[in-house]
């Protein structure tokens, strides 16, 4: 098989895998509204197909799929186990996601997502594909409500 023909077959196969998997790529347009605390999801766009499985599992893509139309500020990798273990405050720590994503294995990949909720406010979520996002915390103050991009995890709150 010639190199050109082999490439065409690979591209076609990748497109079929993307279509069957139902993955969509970001549209490149600016998000229009942040989700409210009562409605974490907004309409999803199916404008194009992701053919790269690594991109489909990237934290940014997971957040963009869960919060299409929202102003995504921050995203980072996580697992169900790290979501459930996240805690803040003290002396008795708050563990907001201790029971998040019931019956989902701890090793399941997901993303931390920071969505703009106001001029100086970021609402943090834990997201696993195929499940409703789990609200983590809303933080208001200096430096919040601003885009930081890729992060290791949500902020540690005193």
For residue range 97-154, what is the model confidence (pLDDT) as tens digits? Answer: 999 999 999 999 999 999 999 999 999 999 999 999 999 999 999 989 999 999 999 9
Let me know if residue 80 belongs to a domain: yes
d(CA 116, CA 137): 12
Structural domains in the chain (count): 1
Let me know if residue 1 belongs to a domain: no
Structural domain harbouring 77: 56-150
Let me know if residue 14 belongs to a domain: no
Let me know if residue 155 belongs to a domain: no
pLDDT (0 to 100) of residue 28: 31
Let me know if residue 26 belongs to a domain: no
Q: Which residue has the tokens 């696993």?
A: 128
Let me know if residue 6 belongs to a domain: no
Let me know if residue 11 belongs to a domain: no
- Token pair, residue 113, equals 């997502």
């Amino acid at each position: 098989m010639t190199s050109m023909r082999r490439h065409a077959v690979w591209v076609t196969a990748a497109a079929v895998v993307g279509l069957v998997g139902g993955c969509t790529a970001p549209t490149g347009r600016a998000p229009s509204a942040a989700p409210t605390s009562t409605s974490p999801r907004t309409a999803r766009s199916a404008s194009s197909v992701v053919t790269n499985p690594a991109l489909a599992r990237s934290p940014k893509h997971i957040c963009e799929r869960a919060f299409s139309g929202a102003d995504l500020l921050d995203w980072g990798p996580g697992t169900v186990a790290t979501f459930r273990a996240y805690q803040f405050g003290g002396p008795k720590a708050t563990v907001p996601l201790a029971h998040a994503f019931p019956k989902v294995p701890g090793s399941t990949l997901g993303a931390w997502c920071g969505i703009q909720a106001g001029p100086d406010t970021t609402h943090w979520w834990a997201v696993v594909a195929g499940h409703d996002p789990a609200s983590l915390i809303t933080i208001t103050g200096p430096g919040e409500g601003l885009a930081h991009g890729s992060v290791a995890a949500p902020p540690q709150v005193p």
